[in-house]
Structure 1
Amino acid sequence: MLVDSHCHLERLKLSEDDTLAAALDRAKGRGVDSFLCVCVTLENFPDMMAAIDGFDNVVASCGVHPLDQKEAQDLASLHDLSTNPKVVAIGETGLDYFYAPETAEVQQSSFRHHIQVARQRQLPLIIHTRDAKEDTLSILREEKAAEVGGVLHCFTEDLDMAQQAIELGFFISISGIVTFRNAEALRETVKALPLERLLVETDSPYLAPVPHRGKSNEPQYVRDVAEFVAELKGVSLEALAQITTDNFYRCFPKAKPLLAH
């Protein structure tokens, strides 16, 4: 069975007669039985947790996305919110200079704060990074993020960055972007990365993989990502599923007693 290691379930674009339960059932029908629902703002955290309440196969994170920080925010409650029993990670956090270079200073301050809380809580980090390689790696080192590790999610950067992150104890998560026509460089990176450091994700409802481009992404489509990555790596889907599931529990150890069946 597969794990969708990064999705935003409360943001799924469902029709009026559809439900989250039905979407998760569709995923289960395609071999996806566990999910990590990722927080992007502290204000939305209660609504996110309410949406996934009652789903024993869903765990959560707590954090503020770098693109949701146009100005400094009071993150004092990050530690307290992260004590929720379903929270297994801090994030997503990180740096995005592609879309918001003008808020770099605010992003950096928040990123450091997230790492500090992650170390206090002994929870792994979920990192969003785009066009910010040097600063991301520098802050991870300066704030001793290797003590907790985590994942660089929806990875699109170069092999060197992935290797440096792996040296710090991080995993690399691959989304549907790897299936896109213009993602040849990413495919070459995936081929070079060790299987024991890979995760798969949807980032749903965003970035639906081929052949679902143009549709709202769903957790079930992590099966398509896994099939594509398995072919790139020259292994069976069953092997890829087992390896990435094992990796998920290594990356997020507090998820195992909540999710493992």
Structure 2
Amino acid sequence: MDQVRPSSAWLVDTHAHLDFPELATDLEGVFARCRAAQVAVIVTIGIDAETSRTAVELSGRYPHVYATVGLHPHGARRLSDDALHHFADLATQPKVVAIGEMGLDYYRDRQPRERQRACLEQQLELAVQCQKPGVFHIREAHEDFLCIVRPYAGRLRPSVLHCFSGDWKIAVRCLDLGFYLSIPGTVTYKNAQEQQRVVRLAPLDRLLVETDAPYLTPIPFRGKPNEPAYVRYTAEKIAELRRCSFEEVAEATSGNAQKVFGWTF
């Protein structure tokens, strides 16, 4: 897929895992379906040392793919000094646009919470050092996250709450810190009423769209692996909820992604 902007509205999938087997075995097909859906740019996400290296490799191979590097909270115990140096080295590559996904996951709780918090702080320091935005994975841990991140907000580039799952009160606090809210395919689900409320109330110039492919597949494909082309269904649902055009949502969210991640065409 060439890096071209369609003449009409185009979209950015700000969070996908192109190296996961559901996508990696058919990347050319994935990209062809992106063209058909007017998805022009994909950010592929690192969750540990290996996937971060792969993300960087994919960004070098495909002009429409950008990368992040970092350690998911599920792997918090693995953040050694050597790992931090490795992420810092990877972050110097020209198409690495953020540090993450990093954060806190008190829902799965696969790592001790104290270690998760320390891992988050170390990567926040790295993001400040590298002058990169952060991509945050926060599940049932918003209070601790806000407590940890607040002292960094003045030094940290505007960053992203991936798959934002907080309520409107949490959204306001994140917006006040200058962060962007990234909306996944779950917004199309009938029971996603609080997420839908956030979409209606948040400023459009602070929203992003994502798939988290191969996870969180939107309706009408729920139950199947997600892929970047399906971010269109998320954008269409946001347009429905906000009572505006798909073109307005596409233009705003793609422009927001460009501001956050800093790429140029």
User: Which of 110, 114, 127 matches 1:105?
Assistant: 114
Instruction: State whether residues 206 and 256 of structure 2, in contact with CA within 8 Å, keep that contact through their aligned partners in structure 1.
Output: yes
Identity percentage over the alignment? 39
User: Which of 89, 92, 98 matches 1:89?
Assistant: 98
Shift of 1:72: 5.1
Q: 2:55 aligns to what? A: 48
CA distance in 1, matches of 2:155, 2:242: 27
Instruction: State whether residues 12 and 204 of structure 1, in contact with CA within 8 Å, keep that contact through their aligned partners in structure 2.
Output: no
Q: 2:3 aligns to what? A: none
RMSD (Å), alpha carbons = 1.7
Instruction: State whether residues 74 and 110 of structure 2, in contact with CA within 8 Å, keep that contact through their aligned partners in structure 1.
Output: no
Q: Residue 119 of structure 1: SS of its match in structure 2?
A: helix
User: Which of 59, 76, 92 matches 2:84?
Assistant: 76
Look up the equivalent residue of 2:135 and give its one-letter code.
I
Q: 2:38 aligns to what? A: 31
Aligned pair in 2 of structure 1 residues 167, 146: CA closer, same or farther (>3 Å)? Answer: farther
CA distance in 2, matches of 1:252, 1:51: 17
Q: TM-score, normalised by structure 1?
A: 0.92
Moved more, 226-235 or 183-192: 183-192
Aligned pair in 2 of structure 1 residues 71, 45: CA closer, same or farther (>3 Å)? Answer: closer
Q: Residue 90 of structure 1: SS of its match in structure 2?
A: strand
Aligned pair in 2 of structure 1 residues 95, 227: CA closer, same or farther (>3 Å)? Answer: same
Q: TM-score, normalised by structure 2?
A: 0.91
Q: Residue 100 of structure 2: SS of its match in structure 1?
A: strand
Instruction: State whether residues 13 and 42 of structure 2, in contact with CA within 8 Å, keep that contact through their aligned partners in structure 1.
Output: yes
Equivalences, count: 254
Q: Residue 166 of structure 2: SS of its match in structure 1?
A: coil
CA distance in 2, matches of 1:4, 1:221: 9
Look up the equivalent residue of 1:21 and give its one-letter code.
E
User: Which of 170, 178, 184 matches 2:187?
Assistant: 178
Shift of 1:44: 2.6
- The answer on 1:19 being equivalent to 2:26 is yes
Q: Which consecutive residues of structure 2, in runs of 5 or more, have no partner in the other structure?
A: 1-9
User: Which of 225, 230, 235 matches 2:234?
Assistant: 225
Q: 2:177 aligns to what? A: 168
Moved more, 210-219 or 38-47: 38-47
Look up the equivalent residue of 1:47 and give its one-letter code.
T
Alpha-carbon displacement from aligned partner over 1:187-221 (angstroms, at most 9, x marks no partner): 11211111110000000011100000011001000
